[in-house]
Every structure is written in C-alpha cells, then in structure tokens.
Structure 1
Amino acid sequence: MSFVEKYLGDKKTEVVLFSSTAIALYGYDQGMMSLINTNYDYLDTMGIAEEDPLVGVIVSVYYLGCAVGAILASYLADAKGRKPSIFVCLAVTALGNLLMFIAGLRFRQGALALMFVGRIVMGLGVGGIDAVIPVYSSELNEEGGRGKALAQEFQANIFGLNMAFAINLAVTHSLGKTNQWAWRIPIIAMQIYPVLLISFIYRLPESPRWWIFHNREDDARVSLVEIYGEDDASAKLDELKDAAKEESAHSIGYSDMIFPGGQQFHETMVTVMGQVNQALTGYGAVSVYGAQIFELLGFDVSTAEYLTQGNFISYFLLMTFAWLLIDRVGRRFLMVTGAFGIAVCFAILTVLGGLAMNSKQLGIPNMAVSVPGSIALFVATGLFGIGWLAQVWLIPTEIYPSTSRAQGSAISVIIWGLANFAVTLLTPIGFNNLNYWLFLIFTVTNLFAGWWTWAYSPETGGRSFEENQQFFTDSKEHNTWLVTRVKEGEYRHLPRGKERDGVEGERQPLLAVDGA
C-alpha cells in the first residue's frame, strides 16, 4: 500500500494536513512583507520613502481586514456550513493576493490604492480562515492532548513564515533590490496555499455537528459514515443529537459575551487580553521587521537578512518544545515564564542596541555588541514560539461552551487583528524615532503581559471543557477574577494526581487520530 493510499484515504489525517496548511497561510504573509518593505522598486512604485509611515500602514491594514473577515466568516460558517465558509475565505485570499501582485504592474498611477485594497481583501480571507479553521478542526480532529495538536499546527504557521522569507531572500539576492520581480514573485508565490487548499477541500467532510444543529440528520449520517464507517455511525449520530438538544436550550449571543455583566464577559476578557498580551510581546515587530532589527544591532543589510532567516529557522525548530511541553507543564506556566524571559531579552537588547549605535564614539567593536544582541533576539523569538504562539488561540476553544465557541473564536481573531494592526503600524514609527529605546518599551509590555497572565488567566490544560467553565462559575461565587483567590488557587496549575485522558464530557472531540 502506497503512502497516498494509506494516509490520504484517512479523513482524520486529511483534516490535520488541511488545517495545518491553512494555518501556514497567514504565517506566509508575515515573512512575505519583511523584505518587500525594503525593496527599492516596491517603494518607488508605491511612491513612498523607506521611512514613510505608510510602509507600516500598508502592512497593518491587513489586520483590520482580518478582524472584519473573522466576523463575516463566523456568520457564514454558522449559516451555510464550515466548508462553504472556508472555501469563500480561500477564494477571497487568492483575490486579495492577486490584487497585490498586479499593483503598479503596467501603470504606477493608483498602485498604492490597489495595494491597500489587496491587503485589506487578503486580510478578509485570512481572518476568516483563522476564525473558522480552529472550530472546524476541533469538531473533526484530535491528536493527543488538545495543546499538542494545536501547537503542531502552529509549527506549520512558522513553516509558512520561513517559506516566504526564504523565497524573498532568494529572489532579492538573485535579482537585486531594484528589480520589481524581487517583490512580486514572493507575493504571487503565496497563491500556492489557497489554490492547493481549494483543490483539496472537496475531499473533506462537513462537520456532522453542524448538520445536526441545522436539523439535517441524513447529511450528518453521511458525514459520520465517511469518518467512522457504517458500524459506528449510528451511535455517534445519537450522541450528537443528544448534545444538540441540550445545547440548543442554552443559546448565547455576542451581547452576552462582550458587555460587562454578560453571562460570558469574563471568558471574553480572558480571550481578549490573551491576544492583546501576545501582541505586546513584540513578536509582530520581530516577524515583519526582523531584518531592520539586526541592522540596528550593527550588521550590514545582507548579513541582517541572512540572520533573519536563521532566526526564523530557529523559531520553527524551537516550536517543537511547545508541543512537547504544553500539555505537560501547562499553558499558563509557559506564557508567564515566556513573557518574563522575553522581557529580559528585550532589556538586554536595549543596552546592546544603545552600545551598537554609539560603538564608534565608545571604541567598542561592532561584533562585541551585535553577536550577543543577535543571541538575545534568537532567544526572545524562541521563547515567544514556545510560550505564546499557540496558547492564545487554544484557550478560547477550552473555556467557551459549544454554543458560543464559534463566536469566541471570532472574537479572538478580531482582537488579534486590531492589536497587530496597532503594533505593526507603530513599530516602523518607533524604529525611525526611538531606535533602540523601542526595545525598552517591549520590555515593559512583556512584564505587563506576564503579570496579567499570572493574575487572571487560569490553567486550562489537563481539564475537561466543563471543568474549565467551572472556573468562571467559581470566580463569580468568590467575587474575584484573581486566579490565586478562586478555590484557593486550584486553577494556577495543571490538576495534580488526576488522569488527564479519557475524562468524560467534551474533553474528547469528535475524532481521535489512531496511535495518538
């Protein structure tokens, strides 16, 4: 039996591959824009200078598109199905990418406007994908612990980032920074992802859970037979019908989630602050403006670009520790220690950045500050990947009940988009005006992120979905959001002396990958 026959015929594996590739899509954009921003032909075509704030605006409007796309896609996913919503989002992503590619291709007049439109349209598609894919995946897939599965998928995100930067680096050094194809090729190469996913989506089943919630029992049975086979489909169908009856009596709307006093406002604030704090770690600056950071440390342009690629490769490899540790030591521990560790790295970068910029006056060799500065940046990037990349996307899927999980995922993407819009917009302005003092700002924001997580974010690993929801009930009874004061700090850490697998309730998703 060939590899294709053995694995691509397995719907569980196909869902994993599809979800991972979809998540890699938005990682590609981060790596794609990092060197495009410094391409002289790109800047000339757009009619802007390298230090013009519009450089950051072009990057950041994408995240506004993501925020709007998450709302539209979540409604579409609930009304028409997960697969149709994903298909539309992929098509919109492809359209936005194409508009970016043709901006200024024949006529430079209107190039900037078309690039803005392309970035926003592509953001609509990618934001929708980021909102719907976690919900679709959670309804159809499990691979070991919940954290391990999502961390592995987000390692694919870093693969996309590496792929984009590698293509960027190759064409930039082959064609030069004055050649238009050095920035157009990395853009159009992104079409690989939506085209591949669109051509593959027909093989995947619609969520049986969605069919049941829309009173389409026969269609749900077809999906279950496709997933489980004829023998187990009937039993699974009965389970989903029972779950639908119970959950339909507890409908939750956005007003219950986003307004103080709402039934799930506390859960929403944990979700919102997770995404805000992730943005405050400064990872967006490192991902999009990595080469400029290495230049600030004293490296020449070419060396800075190769070091950025090396940093991304290290990032990808270190993500392995994320899925090895996330279900063993917990989400909260990795986030808190990661934030404080990143704060230390940025404090070191503040000192070394200052020395690098004044090395001639102080008589300090460039390598004496640029090498340890690079090490600090590598470590900070790795700590972010291990401690923060996957966790803020995972926690919302663990604290909301099924009736509001899709809305919770959409809120998470919306805040992610708005927070990263602000960070990517302000970062180039910070570089141009604050230089190395920008690192000190990230030091302070990381300290805040670590403190807030320690104080208010419960440990959601090793517990069933129902147990995690109990934290919010307990916090109301104790009249506090402080984790240390709810049930004597029980939710500060993974449950001790307790079996973590096989717990009844929603801990076990619809599918279980063989051998997990």
Structure 2
Amino acid sequence: MEKIKSYFTDRKQQVVLFSSTAIALYGYDQGMMSLINTNQDYLKTMGIAEEDPQVGVIVSIYYLGCAVGAVIFSYLADTYGRKPALFGCLAMASLGNLIMFVSGLGYSQGALIVMYIGRVVMGLGVGGVDSVVPVYSSELASDDSRGKALAQEFQSNIFGLNMAFAINLALTVHLGKTNEWAWRIPIIAMQLYPLGLLAIFERLPESPRWFIFHERHDDAAASLKYIMGEEDGKKMLGELQENAKQESGKSIGYKDMFNPKHPMFHPTLITIMGQVNQALTGYGAVSVYGPQIFELLGYEVQLSEFLTQGNFISYFFLMTFAWLLVDAVGRRTVLLGGSAALITCFLLLTLFGGLASESSELGIPRQAVAIPGIVSLFLATGAFGIGWLATIWLIPTEIFPTSARAQGTAVSVIIWGLANFAVTLLTPILFNNLKYWLFLVFAMTNTFAGVWTYFYQPETGGRSFEENQEFFDEAREAGSWRVGKVRDGEFRKLPYPKPDGEEGETQPLLERVRDQL
C-alpha cells in the first residue's frame, strides 16, 4: 500500500499549510474590527462617537497600508527571496497588531493616533502577506493544481474571518459592549498567526524559480531535491533552467507595466480589472454590513449578529467548492458562474428588502420575506467565495513571467487596497441613503464584471506559466484583447490533459473533480 503523505512529511503540503495560515491572518483582520467598532469602551478610549466618520477611517486606512506594503515586500521578495520577504511581513503584521493592542492601555491622550499607527503598520505587513504568499505558493505548486492550492489557502482566509467574528461575538455577549477586554482580546488573539508561522518558518524551502532567476542553480537544485526528491528534482531543474533562458535579460519594473506599449501592460490591465471587478461584486460592502442587512430584513441587533456568524460559517464550508472546481472547470467558468449567481441573489435581495420595509403596510408576515432574504444572502456569500475570492488572486500569479510575478501580484494588492479603502468609506453613505436599493446597484455592477470577464479574461488554468505568456504574444499579433479573437478562442477553455499522458479523449470533468478530493 502506498504510504499516505502527511502535512508533516510532504514539503508541498507544508507550503500549502503555511500559506493557508498566513492567508488566515488576512481573514482574521477582516472579521476583527466589525464588532470592535460598536464597543462603547473602544469608542470612548479613542475619543470618538459611533457615528463619527473616523470609525470608518480607522478601518479603511489599513487598506492604504496594505497597498504600500505590497510594493515594499514584493521588492524584497524579488531582491532577497520569497522567504526573507515573508519573514519581514509577518514580523511587521505582528508589530502592528501589538501597537493596536496597547493603544489607550492605561492612558487616553494620543490613543487614537497610536491606533492609526497600529492599523497602518499592520496593513504594511498584511499587504506583504497578500502579495508574497500567492507568488510563493504558485511557484511551488504543479501547473494543474495551482488553483486548488490557492483556493484552499483562501478557505483558511474565511476560517480566520470566522475565528475573529466568533471571538468578538462571544466576548461581546459575555462581557458586554462596555467592557475594555471585549475589544482588546480579539486584537491580541491575532498574534497566534504571525508568531506561530514564524516558529515553523525555517522548515520552508525557498522558491526554486527565484533561485534560477538569480542564477543560483546549486541552491535551486537543493531546494527542488528537498521538495520533490532527487529524480523529480533534477527533471524539474532542467525545465526551469530552459524557461529562465527565455526570460534572461528581461528586467521589468512598474513603469514598464503601466506603459501601454510594453508587453506587460496587457497582463497588468487584466490584473487591475480583476480586482476592480471583484470590488464591483459588492461583497466587500456585504461583509462589512452583514448585521445591518439582517436588521433591514427585520431582525433585532443580537440575532442579526448571530445570523452574520452563521453566514460566515456557511461561507467557509461553501469555499470547498472553490478548490474542487477551479482546476476542474477553469477560472473563467467559476468567475462567470459567480457573477450570474450574484446578479440573481442581489436582485432577490432588492425584492425581499423592499417587501420587508413595507411588510406592515402590505400585511405580509415578516418571516415570509426575511427567510428567503437570508437564503439569498447566504447564497450570494457562497457564490462570491466560490467564484471571485481566490480566483482573482490566483490569475496574476499565472500571467506574469518570473521577472514580473511579484510586481504583478503587488499591483493586484495595491488595487485591492485602494478599492477596499473606497468601499469602506462609501458603504456607510450608500447603505444609509439607498437602503435595499443598494442591492440593485450591485446587481448592475456584477453584470459589468461578468461581461468584462467574458470578453477579456483568458483561461489560465491547466497551462504552465510559459504557456500563458503565449496568449499575450498572440493577442499582440491579432491586434485584439478579445479572448475569442486570439488563436480562434483557444484561451476561452481549459485545456483538459490526457489521462496519464496517454493519447485519447480528454479527461472527463467528473474525473477531474474526483482527483481534487
């Protein structure tokens, strides 16, 4: 019987486990501030009122830190290696979290400034995590399992979100919204992630692709042997060396990536539009305003908070379909399917939100519109997770050459940071003024995201990094970015491999899904 490898002996699985835990750190912060913002002791310590715009600014300034951190740590990842950059961003996130924890601890004057500093410093670290981890993970995954690896990591992101919200909710229920430790404990609990990761850091291999790119071939050989074994490592080393020859001398900077005449402009724009479209799905606003949406459907505050936790738990389990499907049916299919489901769910939420607001006048029982509204919101959350959460972070790691992969992922984080900064600032205004009509706006923005994806997003799954470069070369020759006009639409579909390398029919979809299990 073949020995089953565990996370403790399989090097690739160790990388997935490490990367998953690092991405969970990012998820934890997303869920951490939601209930802290309503804690009366926190607001008093910061010297602000609950309706003060600074409540939103404290949250959103973190995303600006993420954008800057992505640039800094992507540079470090390219210059000094993926591992040193990972060490730096984890240490930075830990420091920022500690600064947040001590803000106003035993003093009041200047507490708000310290909290701002903590949020920015932690943003620098988490932005580094978001830019370096996907690159590191994808460079150590095989071509037909990159999507599964990253989707599993982003399922851990939702685990972190659940953990933060659960700790917040439990402490709020048992200690109350006026207790200092009901908001300080959730902050310091996040230290489990960076400190735990730093403790096991030395067991990780450096990226062989990074070694090859820096002409450290002996180190690359040692890293591949450590990851894959001697025989497979030697074979892969030859392939990486050949690919490196094709990229040699091609130094690429951010100026090149934003130059419309440069070959990297096309993949850069796809990366930017991916994050813009992810923001247009509207789920950033839904995740921030989950409790208020349940209140809009007619539920009291505490029950709305419990329903939000239930939504996040459902989110975590539905994310399983993301890593089962993303390599089996392709990136385009899950993105387009996610858009279609989100459009439908937001149209339904517009309807049920409107009926809920007029239920007394119309004589409609509250539960008759609240329950289908809950189902619609749960399904919208799952559709976003399966279709749009991990996929948008995966694509930049697949469409850039090694010389620009870290910068490309950094651009993705920068746009994500700026988009979320805007969302967290605008959402209170939009939600308070539009109420349930905001869902109709999201239905329209999802339509735009889906249409753009259909026409311009190439299928990058099942292809090597080098094969994906061919799309951009062919697009330049065809004089069009429309996927359907490049090589007769070949990049609209996933290239199903032959089973076991044999001639014959392509591997059936159900077999590919089975292989992911």
CA distance in 1, matches of 2:498, 2:10: 32
Q: Spell out the pairing of 1:131-142 with structure 2 (5 A cutoff).
A: 131-142=131-142
Query: Residue type of the partner of 2:393?
Result: W
Q: Spell out the pairing of 1:237-276 with structure 2 (5 A cutoff).
A: 237-276=237-276
**Aligned 8 A contact 1:104 1:110 in 2:** yes
SS at match of 1:190: helix
Q: In structure 2, do the counterparts of structure 1 residues 86 and 356 end up closer, same or farther at CA, with 3 Å as the change threshold?
A: same
Q: Which residue is 2:484 aligned to? A: 484
**Aligned 8 A contact 1:15 1:141 in 2:** no
**Aligned 8 A contact 2:74 2:128 in 1:** yes
Q: Which segment drifts farther, 85-94 or 368-377? A: 368-377
Quote the offset at 1:423 in angstroms: 1.0
Quote the offset at 1:23 in angstroms: 0.9
**Aligned 8 A contact 1:56 1:427 in 2:** no
Q: Which segment drifts farther, 40-49 or 75-84? A: 40-49
**Aligned 8 A contact 2:143 2:464 in 1:** no
Q: Which residue is 2:71 aligned to? A: 71
Query: Residue type of the partner of 1:466?
Result: E
Q: In structure 2, do the counterparts of structure 1 residues 259 and 231 end up closer, same or farther at CA, with 3 Å as the change threshold?
A: closer
CA distance in 2, matches of 1:468, 1:81: 24
CA distance in 2, matches of 1:378, 1:489: 35
1:38 aligns with 2:10: no
Q: In structure 2, do the counterparts of structure 1 residues 474 and 293 end up closer, same or farther at CA, with 3 Å as the change threshold?
A: same
CA distance in 2, matches of 1:373, 1:225: 53
CA distance in 2, matches of 1:239, 1:470: 17
Q: Which residue is 1:455 aligned to? A: 455
Q: Deviations over 1:79-127 (max 9, x none)?
A: 1221111111011101111111122222222222221111111110001
Query: Residue type of the partner of 2:193?
Result: Y
Query: Residue type of the partner of 2:388?
Result: W
Quote the offset at 1:484 in angstroms: 2.5
Q: Which residue is 1:83 aligned to? A: 83
Q: In structure 2, do the counterparts of structure 1 residues 216 and 10 end up closer, same or farther at CA, with 3 Å as the change threshold?
A: same
Q: Which residue is 1:175 aligned to? A: 175
Q: Which residue is 2:148 aligned to? A: 148
SS at match of 1:91: helix
CA distance in 2, matches of 1:404, 1:318: 33
Q: Which residue is 2:337 aligned to? A: 337
CA distance in 1, matches of 2:15, 2:307: 34
Q: Which segment drifts farther, 328-337 or 264-273? A: 328-337
SS at match of 1:292: helix
**Aligned 8 A contact 1:463 1:500 in 2:** no
Q: Spell out the pairing of 1:282-301 with structure 2 (5 A cutoff).
A: 282-301=282-301
Quote the offset at 1:466 in angstroms: 3.0
Quote the offset at 1:318 in angstroms: 0.7
Quote the offset at 1:194 in angstroms: 0.3
Query: Residue type of the partner of 2:252?
Result: I
CA distance in 2, matches of 1:379, 1:501: 38
Q: Which residue is 1:92 aligned to? A: 92
Q: Which segment drifts farther, 283-292 or 161-170? A: 283-292
CA distance in 2, matches of 1:470, 1:291: 46
Q: In structure 2, do the counterparts of structure 1 residues 4 and 386 end up closer, same or farther at CA, with 3 Å as the change threshold?
A: closer
Identity %: 67
Q: Which residue is 2:22 aligned to? A: 22
CA distance in 2, matches of 1:247, 1:502: 31
1:196 aligns with 2:196: yes
SS at match of 1:299: coil
**Aligned 8 A contact 1:53 1:429 in 2:** no
Q: Which segment drifts farther, 337-346 or 116-125? A: 337-346
Q: In structure 2, do the counterparts of structure 1 residues 469 and 210 end up closer, same or farther at CA, with 3 Å as the change threshold?
A: closer
Quote the offset at 1:230 in angstroms: 5.2
Unaligned runs of 5+ in 2: 504-514
SS at match of 1:108: coil
Query: Residue type of the partner of 1:61?
Result: I
SS at match of 2:477: helix
CA distance in 2, matches of 1:123, 1:415: 14
CA distance in 2, matches of 1:361, 1:113: 48
CA distance in 2, matches of 1:408, 1:458: 16
Quote the offset at 1:44 in angstroms: 2.4
Q: Which residue is 2:509 aligned to? A: none
Q: Which residue is 2:381 aligned to? A: 381
Quote the offset at 1:485 in angstroms: 2.6
**Aligned 8 A contact 1:68 1:127 in 2:** yes
TM-score after normalising by structure 1: 0.91
Q: In structure 2, do the counterparts of structure 1 residues 233 and 355 end up closer, same or farther at CA, with 3 Å as the change threshold?
A: closer
Quote the offset at 1:439 in angstroms: 1.6
Q: In structure 2, do the counterparts of structure 1 residues 53 and 434 end up closer, same or farther at CA, with 3 Å as the change threshold?
A: farther
Q: In structure 2, do the counterparts of structure 1 residues 135 and 106 end up closer, same or farther at CA, with 3 Å as the change threshold?
A: same
Query: Residue type of the partner of 1:356?
Result: A
Q: Which segment drifts farther, 307-316 or 429-438? A: 429-438
Q: Which residue is 2:124 aligned to? A: 124
SS at match of 2:319: helix
Q: Which residue is 2:408 aligned to? A: 408
Q: In structure 2, do the counterparts of structure 1 residues 455 and 15 end up closer, same or farther at CA, with 3 Å as the change threshold?
A: same
Q: In structure 2, do the counterparts of structure 1 residues 500 and 72 end up closer, same or farther at CA, with 3 Å as the change threshold?
A: farther
**Aligned 8 A contact 2:137 2:150 in 1:** no
SS at match of 1:191: helix
CA distance in 2, matches of 1:390, 1:254: 24
**Aligned 8 A contact 2:26 2:157 in 1:** yes
